[in-house]
Structure 1
């Protein structure tokens, strides 16, 4: 009887020991499962788990945060690129529109091509062209033949001023389809032929009296007469630009002709 009781006691002790052993194994297994996974993770503290393995909390994390960040960056970059391209295209379209508008405004300010001038307006344009051509021609002749410093200075001014004026007349004539004379008329050809034969004091006197005084008086008279009949605003503006230049040249020529009397003193 006593032996049976002893055997029961030993069996009870063995059962308790086995139970504690099982509890210890379970606890160890749980501890192991709570240890952070080392596969594919960084040893750096605070680094996110990007492997999709068991996390520190013991749950399965199938989200690759690095991949999400990369995708987010790519999406953002694509969005910015698309927005930038659209913005640049929009600006280009706007610039093109502005350029086209500016070109239209520039064209509007230019003489209307193809708009035929009246007979009186066409005559005024041709008169201005002939006057400018004659002054440039005789001015170049004086620069090559005269020995008088004042006469040469006046001749240079004629070449410069009337050369610029002639360019404006030619531009207007081209826009309006007006055919300008390509050579001097009979009166100016005769004057040039006469000057060609002279030299020294005789040349200076004839040049200042003819091309200087007489030609500018005639040009002023024609401009005044033509202005009364001009209808086209562009032709009128061109005539208005000519008048003060012609008047200034006439005044200078008259003063030189009276003071120098065509001498070649060079003073």
Structure 2
């Protein structure tokens, strides 16, 4: 199988997973008053979904950067993103499983076109698009983690957000220099 068909198949699979998740979410009944604390904690549940999807998006885009980028600085940054976001994703997965939260399972649906566009770029064009994406994504991540750190109701998630926030702020500062 050549790289193009493998890439197309991966994107099709990612789209199918995201679509099935959206269908499941639409068909799932609203939590009742007897729902578990994790189910009724909409803010924390939203954080887990958004943070896990964002983390997956960073890893996917950064793995692309490791092969598509021209700049050594971009490739070095991407290596850090894969390492740091994979580690954070693992921690979040453990907390989510322990507390009954559901992870997103794939990149955010709204970012899949950006990821598909990135996958079609090479060299300097890729570098610019990736750097722009990393700046925006890390601004969003800092805001998301700040909100959970100060307003979340689940202690494990608040601790995770508080401990992860300095790394995300560092990523944002690094992304702003790309």
3-state secondary structure, aligned to 1:182: coil
Map of 2:75 onto structure 1: 152
1:252 equivalenced with 2:174 (yes/no) = yes
Would you say how many aligned residue pairs link Structure 1 and Structure 2? 141
Alignment equivalent of 2:48, drawn from 121, 125, 140: 125
| TM-score of the superposed pair, with normalisation by structure 1 | 0.51
Per-residue CA distance 1:110-165 (angstroms, 9 max, x = gap): xxxxx732221121222221121111110001011112211100000000000000
3-state DSSP of counterpart to 2:37: coil
Q: More displaced, 160-169 or 170-179?
A: 170-179
Which residue of the partner structure matches residue 234 of structure 1?
A: 156
**Which residue in 1 is equivalent to 2:138?**
216
Find the counterpart in structure 2 of residue 25 from structure 1: none
Query: TM-score, length-normalised on structure 2?
Result: 0.75
Larger radius of gyration: 1
CA distance, structure 2, for counterparts of residue 228 and residue 138 of structure 1:
29
Deviation for aligned residue 1:228: 3.8
SS of aligned partner of 1:255: coil
1:116 correspondence with 2:37: yes
| Bigger helix share | 2
1:167 equivalent in structure 2: 90
Q: Distance in 2 between matches of 1:229 and 1:217?
A: 18
Q: How does 1:179-190 map to 2 (within 5 A)?
A: 179-190=102-113
The aligned runs of 1:14-53 (5 Å cut-off) are: none
Check conservation: 1:121, 1:229, Cα contact below 8 A: no
Deviations 1:22-67 (CA, angstroms, capped at 9, x unpaired): xxxxxxxxxxxxxxxxxxxxxxxxxxxxxxxxxxxxxxxxxxxxxx
Flag structure 1 segments of 5+ consecutive residues without an equivalent. Answer: 1-114, 257-267
Which runs of no fewer than 5 residues in structure 2 stay unpaired?
1-35
Q: Structure with the greater relative contact order (CA < 8 A, sep ≥ 6): 1 or 2?
A: 2
For residues 236 and 225 of structure 1, the distance between their equivalents in structure 2, rounded to whole angstroms, comes to 9
CA distance in structure 2 between the aligned counterparts of 1:226 and 1:234, rounded to whole angstroms: 11
